[in-house]
Structure 1
Amino acid sequence: MIWKTVLVVCLAVGTLAEYQISDDEREKVKEAIAAQCKKNGAEDKADDVQKAGKTFLECLKAQIDPATIQKEIEEAKPKGALDEVFGKYCARSPQLKSCFNTLIDSVSPCLDSEVRNQAEAVKNGTAQLLDFVCHKDGDRIALFIAEKGPECFKDQAAKLRQCGEPIQKSFSSIEDIKKLSLVEKCQKFDEVSTCLVNALEECPNPTPGNMAESLIKYVRKGSPCNTALPKN
């Protein structure tokens, strides 16, 4: 649970680079980072965190260019060669893991101690996610696209968003979330997960829902929830 939260925060930091935000918004993000670092006794690390966001995005772009991948996917579909496309990019998973690990190490000094102590768990979680997606050189993601997974997500977008609304409305601040016990957090995770899978299962093709369920189970198995709140 914690590693997912940290990754979201880290990706938000990445928007500092120069991507789709105004100067005013960028300044607000910088102020928020400075305040977070000061709160955790690492005021001198704020500049490093800001630079880490840009470095992270540059690291990702060096390995994966979305426009190029989309073009390659479209060209590969008629040929039935999606596995070749994803096999090529999955071969870069060690570099992608390094991108994430460097970012996590860079922002770690400014994170709350509870989260900072879970840095290794965050790295392991990221590695597990990439390993799942790149199983057998990416055959899972190739199958997902071939079986109209992206179309399923698009069709069910409204219902997928609704899955998180009850939780968003039940908490007025991050502090409220921190007060939850691990078991309570895991229960919330399971509620949202079940909702997401149910929404995707409404698609004509069962593959997207099945793959989402497999991914969620895989992630959960590697999280503290696996022992704190075992599932039958």
Structure 2
Amino acid sequence: MGERREMKILVAFGFFLVAGILISGVAQADEPQKPPAKQTYVELLGKVKVNPLSEDDSDEYDEELVKAKCNKNGGPTAYDTAVQGLTNLQNTIESVINSTDNSIESDVSGDSSSEEEDEFKSICGSILILKGWTTLGVDAIKPCLDLEERQVVEILLNVSFPLIEFVCENDGSQLLGFFQTGGIECLEEKTEGIRACLHINSTFAESVESTESSEAITGSPSAIIPKPFDLPEFAVDQEDCSDLQTMQNCVVGQLNECAQRTPSNFINSIFNIIKKESGCAAVLKAHEALATNAL
């Protein structure tokens, strides 16, 4: 059950990350002096902590267990290499936050059309910088991980990086088009319907709730060894992929009721990327072929 729960969270991650960013942008509408997308982007990055061992609550973690795991899997230098890689990534995130935050006020010029284009171009430029440093951070920590955990990382990257490339295609034109065609308003209008789509499958709904409850109690995903040093195992199977397809149909169906189709097409493309890169597209295709041959 644990493997299926983590798989469900993974394959839905890309959609909820993007949807969460876009929905949270609505709250910025009453602050016209600050471009909403950039402000939301800065706030999101501010919540990212890739090196929990360096945080004030590091006493919740057993650093010696982390060191022992790194030493066992990658040798005596693996721990220091991992921590340095994560520190470099965290420093880059902070640098991007500062540079983006400092540019927010100067972006307000009154020329909303060119301002929006520049805004998304700037966001995507910094995302691509973070993508490169994320790769370096992952490479630094891989020696600490078990074989199964390394496979988890590969799947996460296989899903995340194509999503980034899609959203930031042509300097963020996909994301800009989403905003300009009422994507924010569409998501806000259909928020309740989208939430209902999560509960079509009870296992998925329960897994999300249990994960949120656990993190609320401990303040972190693990009270012993922190992620990314301790990752869940999971496998892609037909049931998980069918659940993802059902959720996609439900969410896209909700968004199809909005005034324009661009928002639903945008989110549908995100789901398709998740299915392809997680391996679900191939699993569903094989299952469909078997079902057809059985007739």
Same fold (TM over 0.5): yes
Per-residue displacement from partner, 1:98-138 (whole Å, max 9, x unpaired)? 12212222333444422303544544433312211121221
Note closer, same or farther for the CA distance 1:37–1:181 as it changes in structure 2 (3 Å cut): farther
1:226 corresponds, among 276, 281, 285, to 281
Task: State how far apart, in whole Å, the 2-side matches of 1:163 and 1:203 are.
Answer: 16
Q: Which runs of 5+ in 2 are unaligned?
A: 1-5, 15-46, 212-231, 289-295
State the match for 1:132 in structure 2.
Answer: 166
Q: 1:15 Cα shift?
A: 6.6
Partner AA of 1:225 in structure 2: C
Contact map agreement 2:49 2:90 (CA 8 A) in 1 = no
State the match for 1:168 in structure 2.
Answer: 205
Q: 1:36 Cα shift?
A: 6.7
Q: 1:212 Cα shift?
A: 0.5
Q: Which moved more, 1:211-220 or 1:194-203?
A: 194-203
Q: How is 1:8-27 mapped onto 2 (pairs within 5 angstroms)?
A: 14=50, 16=52, 23-24=56-57, 26-27=58-59
Note closer, same or farther for the CA distance 1:168–1:72 as it changes in structure 2 (3 Å cut): farther
Partner AA of 2:263 in structure 1: P
Contact map agreement 1:77 1:146 (CA 8 A) in 2 = no
Note closer, same or farther for the CA distance 1:155–1:17 as it changes in structure 2 (3 Å cut): farther
- 1:230 counterpart SS class: helix
Q: How is 1:179-194 mapped onto 2 (pairs within 5 angstroms)?
A: 181-194=236-249
Q: 1:225 Cα shift?
A: 1.6
Per-residue displacement from partner, 1:42-63 (whole Å, max 9, x unpaired)? 5975666555544323223434
- 2:278 counterpart SS class: coil
Q: 1:35 Cα shift?
A: 5.3
Per-residue displacement from partner, 1:205-230 (whole Å, max 9, x unpaired)? 43222210112213322331222222
State the match for 2:176 in structure 1.
Answer: 142
State the match for 1:153 in structure 2.
Answer: 187
State the match for 2:90 in structure 1.
Answer: 57
Q: Which runs of 5+ in 1 are unaligned?
A: none
- 1:14 counterpart SS class: coil
Partner AA of 1:213 in structure 2: N
2:255 corresponds, among 179, 200, 203, to 200
Contact map agreement 1:17 1:53 (CA 8 A) in 2 = no
Q: 1:203 Cα shift?
A: 3.7
Q: 1:142 Cα shift?
A: 1.0
Contact map agreement 1:37 1:46 (CA 8 A) in 2 = yes
Contact map agreement 2:51 2:86 (CA 8 A) in 1 = yes
Contact map agreement 1:90 1:137 (CA 8 A) in 2 = yes
Contact map agreement 1:60 1:99 (CA 8 A) in 2 = no
Residue 83 (1) aligns with residue 117 (2): yes
Task: State how far apart, in whole Å, the 1-side matches of 2:104 and 2:253 are.
Answer: 28
Task: State how far apart, in whole Å, the 2-side matches of 1:130 and 1:189 are.
Answer: 20
State the match for 1:116 in structure 2.
Answer: 150
Q: 1:141 Cα shift?
A: 0.9
Q: Which moved more, 1:130-139 or 1:199-208?
A: 199-208
- 1:117 counterpart SS class: helix
Partner AA of 1:114 in structure 2: E
Note closer, same or farther for the CA distance 1:117–1:180 as it changes in structure 2 (3 Å cut): closer
Task: State how far apart, in whole Å, the 2-side matches of 1:187 and 1:16 are.
Answer: 35
Aligned-residue identity in percent: 22
1:103 corresponds, among 137, 141, 159, to 137
Task: State how far apart, in whole Å, the 1-side matches of 2:64 and 2:187 are.
Answer: 37
Task: State how far apart, in whole Å, the 1-side matches of 2:172 and 2:265 are.
Answer: 16
Q: 1:189 Cα shift?
A: 2.2
CA RMSD, 1 decimal: 4.3
